[in-house]
């Protein structure tokens, strides 16, 4: 029997290893140690002031464009707003086309002669810190040149009070927010008065303890307040928490 000799077809060839699928997690160029190291952090004594400055800038932006906090110094809006309450005012609303409406509590700048001249703050360190915090909106304004009242009538409307009844355009106004024991006129009859265009007629909820439009009829607007002086509608009582109340984006 003849044993066949290996021929060209049976010649041993190179051994080929099967191709393994590439691991996607290991694909790509090798990463050198330290290539993507983060930046060195600043020491705490340098980060802390930077964080404070950033916080003040953010607070200033919120005060300028969104909300500002005001303090209630008197009882003219009791019991809706009480002495010492902190209220947030929506400053964005006027930019979005909001206009004061009857029944809304609003904050406005003194149109002139409604408030005594503010006493300048002292030059102490605490006074300077308070001025800065007031400027950025973390504390109420230091100049105390703002008031909060409720809108009773707007430009073009006619307001009057007789006996115990308040009327706007001849129709009685329901006022469930009045201070207990007060009525709409509280012994002060006036009108009829037509509110000039671009003005609002405002009164406090504690009608017997509020020097409002009724007491300033000798002014340029006949007691009314220019709409341009309005900062915005009160959105909420934010402090103290026990008296938290939400009026809504438009102060309703």
76 assigned to active site: yes
Neighbours of 124 (CB within 10 A): 9
For position 136, what pLDDT does the model report? Answer: 46
Do the Cβ atoms of 164 and 190 come closer than 8 Å? no
For position 239, what pLDDT does the model report? Answer: 87
Could you tell me the CA-to-CA distances from 39 to 49, 95, 163 in Å, in that order?
19, 41, 75
DSSP 100: -
User: Sign (positive/negative) of CA torsion 190, 110, 153, 243?
Assistant: negative
For position 39, what pLDDT does the model report? Answer: 61
27 assigned to active site: no
Out of 76, 184, 186, 210, which one is annotated catalytic?
A: 76
Do the Cβ atoms of 247 and 177 come closer than 8 Å? no
Q: Which residue in 199, 194, 190 sits closest to 166, CA to CA?
A: 190
Please give the chain's pLDDT, 252 residues, in tens. 454 555 554 455 555 555 555 554 554 444 455 444 556 666 766 666 666 665 555 545 554 456 688 889 899 999 999 999 999 998 888 888 899 999 999 999 999 889 876 555 555 545 555 555 554 444 555 556 899 999 999 999 999 999 999 999 999 999 999 999 999 999 899 999 999 999 999 999 999 999 999 999 988 889 999 999 999 999 999 889 898 888 865 555
For position 138, what pLDDT does the model report? Answer: 47
CATH class for the region spanning 45-246: mainly beta
Please give the model's pTM, rounded to 2 decimal places. Answer: 0.69
What's 168-227 look like in SS3? ECCEECCCCCCCCCCCCCCCCCEEEEECCCCEEEEECCCHHHCCCHHHCCCCCCCCCEEH
Helix, coil or strand: residue 11: coil
For position 166, what pLDDT does the model report? Answer: 98
Do the Cβ atoms of 230 and 100 come closer than 8 Å? yes
Out of 149, 186, 210, 213, which one is annotated catalytic?
A: 149
For position 125, what pLDDT does the model report? Answer: 45
């Amino acid at each position: 029997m003849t044993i066949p000799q290996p021929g060209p077809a049976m010649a041993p060839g190179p051994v080929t290893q099967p191709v393994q699928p590439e691991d996607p997690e290991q694909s790509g160029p090798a990463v050198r140690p330290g290539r993507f190291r983060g930046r060195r952090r600043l020491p705490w004594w340098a980060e802390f002031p930077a964080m404070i400055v950033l916080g003040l800038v953010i607070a200033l932006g919120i005060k300028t464009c969104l909300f500002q906090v005001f303090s209630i110094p008197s009882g003219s809006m009791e019991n809706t707003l009480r002495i010492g309450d902190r209220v947030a005012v929506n400053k964005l609303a006027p930019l979005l086309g909001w206009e004061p409406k009857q029944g809304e509590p609003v904050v406005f700048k003194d149109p002139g002669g409604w408030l005594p001249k503010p006493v300048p703050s002292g030059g102490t360190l605490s006074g300077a810190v308070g001025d800065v915090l007031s400027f950025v909106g973390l504390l109420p304004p230091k100049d105390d040149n703002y008031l909060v009242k409720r809108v009773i009538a707007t430009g073009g409307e006619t307001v009057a009070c007789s006996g115990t009844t308040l009327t706007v355009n001849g129709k009685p106004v329901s006022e469930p927010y009045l201070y207990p024991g007060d009525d709409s006129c509280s012994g002060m009859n006036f009108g009829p008065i037509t509110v000039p265009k671009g003005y609002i007629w405002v009164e406090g909820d504690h009608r017997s303890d509020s020097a409002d439009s009724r007491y300033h009829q000798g002014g340029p607007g006949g007691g009314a307040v220019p709409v341009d002086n309005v900062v915005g509608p009160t959105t909420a009582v934010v402090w103290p928490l026990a008296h938290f109340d939400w009026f809504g984006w438009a102060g309703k």
